[in-house]
Structures are given as C-alpha cells and as structure tokens.
Chain A
Amino acid sequence: MRRAPLSPDVLDAEDRKILNALQDGFPIAPHPFAVAAEQLGLEEKDLITRIRHLRELGAITRFGPFYDAAAMGGAFCLCAMEVPEAEFEQVMTLVNAHPEVAHNYERTHRLNMWFVLAAETLEGITQAADAIERETGMCVHRFPKLEEFFIGFRVPA
C-alpha cells in the first residue's frame, strides 16, 4: 500500500467528489456505477474510468464490501509485549513466525510490541499466545475486544 502522500494537484475536483461520496456507500443494483454516477452528475463510463485511475494512483485501498471479521467466523485478539530493546529483533522474528500473527507494530510505550492474533477459534488464540510466551519467556498481555463502537471515520479528500 502506498504510504507517501500524493501531490495535491494529482486529484481534480471530480476525483475528490468521488472519494468523498463513495466512502459513505455504494449501491447493490444491476448497474451500480450508473446509479452512483447519476447522484454525482457523472456518466457511468466516466465514473468507472476515474475509479480505476484512482486505484492505479494508490488513492484507493479497497473498493467493495467490508465484512465484519467475527461474522465471517474466527477469533481475534490484540496482544502486547514489553520487549527489551536488545532482544527486540529476536523476539520479533519469533512472534512473526506464527501464522496467527496478522499485524504487528512497534509502538512508543513500555509495552512496545503490539500485534493482532487471528485464529479460527478462541482456543487457537490462547494456544498461539501461550506458545509465544513459552518461546520468548515473556508475558503476552491480551486485550480482546469487549465492545466495539460504530465508527464515523471519514477521510476528507
């Protein structure tokens, strides 16, 4: 995924309108781009071309349905470890070797390694976290979600 900002003049007003509007939703219809285009005052063909172009530029990371991870079956848990600096790379290698480790970030805190475990079952989460504790001799703090809140996040384009 592109992490560098695009030069602001790469996107024109129409592109920004598309990015802003389609964050909120996209229809389920036989010709959904025609429906969305009409609301934007564009032609279907033009909207399709622009979305493809925005994707090629790296201005879009995903286009389509966003599924609830838990509804798809599976268990997830945010975990954190306090890893001494001298052992950081070694512990990172041990942790990342587990296929259950989906994301792993170094963060500015005493708890400096934060990762998400993803497994088919809760038991799979426990087994992976316990295995990491055995291999590293360090505590894996577990922060499963107790409640998730509806998100109003929007990226102004």
Chain B
Amino acid sequence: MSIDAIDRRIIAATQAGLPVTSEPYAEIAGQLGLDVEVLMARMRAMQERGVIRRIALAPNHYALGMTANGMSVWDVQDDRATELGAQVGALDFVSHCYLRPRAEGWPYNLFAMVHGSSRDEVEAKRAVISDLLGPACRAKDILYSTRILKKTGLRIRGEG
C-alpha cells in the first residue's frame, strides 16, 4: 500500500475532512495545484488499494445517543480466531476489532469495542458476541472507560 509524494499531499489536505461545498474535489485540487481529474483518479486509486478505507460521514455516536461503550476482550482458541474475529467485526455495534498477543495474566487475544445507548445495552450486545463465539471462547471480560486521560488526533505532515 505504498503512497508517493503527491498522494501524501492529498492525504495531508483531506485528512481533516472535505469542504462541504458544491465542488469539494476541485477546491482541494486548486489548493494543491493539481488538475481535478488527476486528484479524483488518485483518490479512486487510493480507495482501491485500501489506503482510503471509505469516504463518508462519521456521525457523532454520543450525540446520537450511543453514550456507552466498553472494550470487550475474549480468549478465543487460536485456530478459530481469524474466522470468528471476522464475524465479530462485521456486527453493526462493534467499532474496532483486532487480534492481539496475549500477555502474562492476560489470556485475551480478541478485542472488540462495543457501543450502545446504555451499559445494559452494551452488556446485551456482549452476550450476542459470547453466543457467536460459543465454546471456542475460554474466558472473557469487558473494560469500561471511566476517564479520557489524553486524546489527540493522528496526523501526518504534507512533506517528507
């Protein structure tokens, strides 16, 4: 998934968002001194390569009432972890889903962030995951966040 210097400039110019105007791509192209057709072709190519995951609107889930979330963690038997992880990730209430290494005192290898309008709802959705994993899951837990200690965006620079 390599990106060249022009792609990098496009990423830097659009990572905070697109202008909400009639011709947003022409506006970005103008800022970068590119032809709009070139810019659109490059963005389509990045989308095909998976560098752009999607172009979309991200609703603020807190504003829309999804105020509860928990990091659910699962000890899933290794030979089924990829298959089951894919099924958990596809659920519409899971916003992040990863396999990670276990650690001493930490038997869990599957992490899934679960969202809902209340903690009860999160627990109900967690039960759905538990049913889906079945006997392939040997241990489980959920960690609720009690405080944001730091939050900064991930940003790249346009040059270099």
Contacts and interface: CB of A to CB of B under 8 A. Distances in A.
Contacts of A42: none
B20 interface: yes
A149 B22 contact: no
B17 interface: yes
Contact of A66 (B36, B55, B63, B145): B55
A8 B63 CA distance: 10
A55 B11 CA distance: 21
A33 B57 CA distance: 12
B23 A92 contact: no
Contact of A4 (B16, B24, B62, B90): B62
Given A61-B60, A153-B115, A107 B54 contact: no
Interface of B is mostly: mixed
A146 B100 contact: yes
Most buried by B among A2, A3, A44: A3
A144 B100 contact: yes
Contacts of B144: 107-108
Interface residues of B, number: 79
A51 interface: yes
Interface string B77-100: 000011001101111111111111
Most buried by A among B46, B53, B100, B149: B149
A13 interface: no
Contacts of A74: 154, 156
Contacts of A63: 17-18, 20, 56-58
Contacts of A51: 20, 57
Contacts of B54: 24-25, 65-66
B50 interface: yes
A102 interface: yes
A28 B52 CA distance: 12
